[in-house]
Chains A and B, each alone.
Chain A
């Protein structure tokens, strides 16, 4: 039984009188989960995510991070537990060396020079940027810059990672690198929340998916259940990954029960089905 690490209790959030961004959000995040947060822009994903490390405080309700109420805890304490990686690397990068960029977080945490060195090495190893310590961040390509921003949060060793659209603007290589990194971090016991529009990516990494629309959570279940729930996805104007679409069409046509999300799953299921048929024939 996994412990709850973050609890969101009936959270409402208003940007101003006209814009109510969150309407009664209830959510429990357990240690070690990988959760995908999906939905159209303006649905409240980023607003909710920013509540998890105290950047935003609820107008009503509360957010509890490991027994700390975010309303009464300063952000710099919460950032030790919840690391938030913003979508645009340009919004973070301000140093002239990769090493300095990654060292910034641990420096703020008050670590000794020795420990900072260790943390930077560990973080760069994790993302595969060892050897780039003296490189100027702007000499990196976009995918590497993204990895750099994630490394700068890894160096702070938070227990929870919030990644805001880590694959947007990237090619498929970049997407794969991020997926592998997430699985690696999760193996170490980290909890990961990814905001994304990429359903193929969701199917690859997330065990649980939360669908938001108009400031409310309209779906929260296992990724498989959610991505095959055509009615729900249609309501949110989202299409599941192509493999799932294929299964849904075949199921509709022939009353079958295929529930594959990825190519590997479909390969297994389809080839088994065919072999069984041939055997029976």
Chain B
């Protein structure tokens, strides 16, 4: 298991938030995220996952208004004291909808990837360099001159990731990035994320694809009705089967199976598998197959 660095990148202190039209969407959030960490966020719809993501770059509260208590500090910036534009240099968000987060201004993939940098007024030379790098990283090489609107969902989401990468933020946030993608699109996006994780990026990802999340995350934040239910390493959170079920969340199938087998056979396992390889190992032994 990865040893987390001690360098704090994100800090929530007694943070509570209400939208103008919906109260208590986040209640008393206290947590820290460290450099190089991958934090997953799970919870039923309405738990506050999206709001949590948007409070990392100031959209909450600057874009939506509403009432705030406490504060959020990201890469040394207090989100209440800085504009979304300023925070965009430190935090990049990839949203759920592949087509609707495209700028609409860029005529080609290249220009879309450079969009954020053009908004910040960087020079054309710098933009060219960064764009080339980002496009390679997400595997869209060869598609530079295509219209962003001609791409598949998976390609568009990778394009969004590239746009964010080009801005070289300290934290990348993904709000249900694969919810609307087909299996191949999901695979493409998760592959890119795996690469970024290997390079030590700090990533926050809210998702319902809990089985995939188990492969990516160091810790998982479990939210329900705006409150933190658990914040612990992935294995611990995903093994709390009854807590997950109470919130209406399906644990990873193999984890749930192990829990049920424990009950059925009256035995106890040291730890539950959260990845397929772990389950294969466990069951090879359990079934006493030689």
Determine whether A and B are in direct contact in the complex, meaning some CB atoms lie less than 8 angstroms apart: yes
B46 within 8 A of A: yes
Q: Check if A238 is an interface residue, CB within 8 A of chain B.
A: yes
Residues 252-281 of A at the B interface (beta carbon under 8 Å): 253-254, 256, 263, 266-267, 270-271, 273-275, 277
Are B261 and A171 in contact, CB atoms less than 8 angstroms apart? no
Interface SS of B by simple majority = helix
User: B257 contacts the other chain (Cβ, under 8 Å)?
Assistant: yes
Asked whether any CB of chain B lies closer than 8 Å to the CB of A137, the reply is no
Which residues of B are found within 8 Å of A275, using beta-carbon distances? 265
Determine if A168 and B187 form an interchain contact, defined as CB atoms under 8 angstroms apart: no
Contacting residues of chain B (129-184) with chain A, CB-CB under 8 angstroms: 152-153, 179-184
Cα–Cα, bound, A267→B265 (Å): 10
- Nearest-CB distance from B187 to chain A (Å)? 7
B261 contacts A271, CB within 8 Å? yes
A267 touches B264 (CB 8 A): yes
How many residues on the A side are at the interface (Cβ–Cβ under 8 A)? Answer: 39
Contact partner, B256, options A40, A263, A271, Cβ 8 Å: A263
Among B54-62, B75-83, B278-286, the one that faces the other chain is B278-286
* Any B CB within 8 A of the CB of A197: yes
Min CB distance A21 to B, Å, is: 15
- The interface residues of chain A lying within 8 Å CB-to-CB of B260 are 263, 267
Residues from chain B with Cβ under 8 Å of A239 in the complex: 183
Give a binary string over B231-270; 1 marks a CB under 8 Å from any A CB, 0 the rest: 0000000000000000011101110110011001100000
The A/B interface has a contact count, at CB < 8 Å, of 102
Contact: B182 with A171, CB < 8 Å?
A: no
Q: A41-B182, A171-B45 are in contact. Are A277 and B287 (CB under 8 A)?
A: yes
Determine whether the beta carbon of A250 is less than 8 Å from that of B248.
Answer: no
- B185 cross-chain contacts in A, Cβ below 8 A: 41
Residue of A nearest to B260 (CB): A267
- Bound complex: CA of A40 vs CA of B253, how far in Å? 23
- For residue A246, CB closer than 8 A to chain B, the reply is yes
With a cutoff of 8 Å between Cβ atoms, the chain A residues found around residue B249 in the complex are: 171-172
Q: How far is the CB of B31 from chain A (nearest CB, A)?
A: 22
Please measure, in the bound complex, the distance between the C-alpha atom of A176 and the C-alpha atom of B265, giving whole angstroms. 27
Bound complex: CA A169 to CA B153 (Å): 14
Q: Are B264 and A141 in contact (CB under 8 A)?
A: no
- Nearest CB in chain A to that of B279: its residue: A246
Report whether B248 and A242 are in contact in the complex, using a CB–CB cutoff of 8 Å.
Answer: no
* CB atoms of B280 and A249 under 8 A apart: yes
**Contact flags A182-199 to B (C-beta < 8 A → 1, else 0):** 000000000000000100
Residues of chain A contacted by B257 (CB below 8 angstroms):
243, 246, 263, 266-267, 270
| Cβ contact within 8 Å between A246 and B280 | yes
Q: Is A232 an interface residue (CB 8 A)?
A: no
Q: Kindly list chain A residues whose C-beta atoms are within 8 Å of the C-beta of B276.
A: 242, 245-246, 249
A44 shortest CB reach to chain B, Å = 13
Do the beta carbons of B182 and A241 come within 8 Å of each other?
no
* A250-B280 contact, Cβ under 8 Å, with A171-B45, A237-B183: yes
Q: Answer whether A40 and B289 are a contact pair too, CB < 8 Å, given A172-B250, A246-B254, A250-B283.
A: no
The answer for the CA separation of A10 and B264 in the assembled complex, in Å, is 50
Using an 8 Å CB-CB cutoff, how does the interface string of A23-52 with B read, 1 for contact, 0 for none?
000000000000000001110000000000
Interface size on B, residues (CB 8 A): 38
- Answer whether residue A170 sits at the interface, using C-beta atoms and an 8 A cutoff: yes
Interface pair A42/B152, CB less than 8 Å apart: yes
- Closest Cβ–Cβ distance, residue A194 to chain B (whole Å): 15
B286 touches A238 (CB 8 A): no
Kindly report which residue of chain A lies nearest to residue B282, judged by CB atoms. A246
Does the CB pair A256–B289 fall under 8 Å? yes
Q: Identify which of A170, A245, A274 contacts B265 (C-beta below 8 A).
A: A274
Report yes or no: A253 in contact with B264, Cβ–Cβ below 8 A.
no
**Given A40-B182, A263-B260: A176 and B152 interface contact (C-beta under 8 Å):** no
Residue of A nearest to B49 (CB): A171
Q: Mark B179-198, 1 if CB is under 8 A from A, else 0.
A: 11111111100000000000
Q: Once bound together, how far apart are the Cα atoms of A270 and B283, in whole Å?
A: 9
Instruction: Closest B residue to A175 by CB, please name it.
Output: B250
The 10 closest A-B pairs by CB, nearest first: A173-B248, A242-B253, A41-B182, A171-B45, A172-B250, A249-B280, A254-B289, A171-B44, A271-B264, A267-B260
Other A-B pairs beyond A237-B184, A254-B289, 16, CB < 8 Å? A169-B96, A169-B179, A171-B44, A171-B248, A171-B249, A172-B248, A172-B250, A197-B181, A200-B253, A243-B254, A246-B279, A249-B276, A250-B287, A253-B280, A263-B256, A273-B287
Chain A positions within 8 Å of B, measured between CB atoms, are: 40-42, 141-143, 168-176, 197, 200, 237-239, 241-243, 245-246, 249-250, 253-254, 256, 263, 266-267, 270-271, 273-275, 277
17 A-B residue pairs with CB within 8 Å: A41-B152, A41-B185, A141-B46, A142-B45, A168-B179, A171-B44, A171-B249, A172-B44, A172-B248, A173-B248, A197-B183, A200-B250, A237-B187, A243-B257, A245-B276, A246-B254, A256-B289
B: which residues have CB within 8 A of A? 44-46, 96, 152-153, 179-187, 208, 211, 248-250, 252-254, 256-257, 260-261, 264-265, 276, 279-280, 283-284, 286-289
